[in-house]
Amino acid sequence: MRTFTHGTAVWDVASPQRPSGVAGVAMAGFRVRDLDTLRMVPHPAVTLLIEFGAGSPVLDCAAGQQRGSVVAAPGFGPGGAVWARGENVECLQVRLSPVIARAVLGTSPADLDGAPVSLGDLWGRDGIRIREQLGDAPSWPERFAWTDALLARRYEAGPPVDPEVAWAWHRIVGSRGLVRVDALAAEVGWSRKRLWSRFWSQLGLPPKRAVKLVRFDHAAHRLVAGEGAARVAADAGYADQSHLHRDVMAFTGATPAAVACERFLAVDDIAWPSRGVPAKPHVPGISGSVAGRG
């Protein structure tokens, strides 16, 4: 476990010693004595926040307050609308590639309707049991191992997404959001309308939103790394610096200068050494180009 210090914030952070057994899963553990109004910055993954300590973390959002363990769709926290707070917080955060999220969750991320949902409401007994198991585990390696095994069982039992949808998602991530939706549709041999419908229903956001979210995530981490906004805008595919400013404001409710100081992003180098982007899952039925598929 390492210590993350950012201004007055001091967190203990744990990372698994080896990758998850399920491609598309990334995990990190946190222990925070005083979680003081942390802005939740949108990220291109489904987020599971599983709390198990003596404290009681709270998410404040447009839908009201949500306590305890939650799950949220990709892009959770747009416009700076979601803030986390609490004392003596211990939690395990899981980032799921949207490609495997439907199988792991047992429902499409689209069904989350853009709001955090209680893990207990979504998973029933499994949602309660995971909190008990993490609390009883004597170490972070055991917590990671137990959670990984649970996610693997759920993934194997759940429905896969269409190979074409998975292909399109990986193209977006691989290009860091520098791809056109028309080009994605052409690559998989679908109409733009069909790609939009399948992508939205299975991953929880439309392709154009996914492109913008992935591009924003890349740009935001470069800002946190200390790069200037003009350079980031030019390299990340924005028309100009004003375009970057508008996108950052839309996703976070803050300016690029403020986002460069965000704790939620600054901790990533410790918690998620690979920037928190889960490994690419294996997708049956796809190899090489998929152009011409019906």
Query: For the domain that residue 138 is a member of, what is the CATH number?
Result: 2.60.120.10
Q: Which of 99, 119, 109 is nearest to 23 (CA)?
A: 99
Which pLDDT does position 281 carry in this prediction? 57
Show Cβ contacts of residue 221 under 8 Å, excluding neighbours closer than 6 positions: 265, 268, 275
Same domain, 19 and 148: yes
DSSP E strand boundaries for 193-248: none
Which pLDDT does position 280 carry in this prediction? 58
DSSP-assigned letters across all residues of 178-198: ---HHHHHHHHT--HHHHHHH
In a domain, 283, yes or no: no
Same domain, 173 and 152: no
Structural domain for 77, as ranges = 2-157
Cα gap 182→179, rounded to integer Å = 9
What is the enclosing helix (H) or strand (E) of 129? helix 125-136
Ranges of the chain with pLDDT below 50:
276-277, 284, 287-294
Number of Cβ within a 10 Å radius of residue 275: 13
Query: Which pTM value belongs to this model?
Result: 0.91
Same domain, 121 and 38: yes
Which pLDDT does position 158 carry in this prediction? 93
Show Cβ contacts of residue 174 under 8 Å, excluding neighbours closer than 6 positions: none
Name the domain boundary from 157, 185, 207. 157
Domain count, the chain: 2
Which pLDDT does position 207 carry in this prediction? 97
Which pLDDT does position 100 carry in this prediction? 97
In a domain, 106, yes or no: yes
Which pLDDT does position 56 carry in this prediction? 77
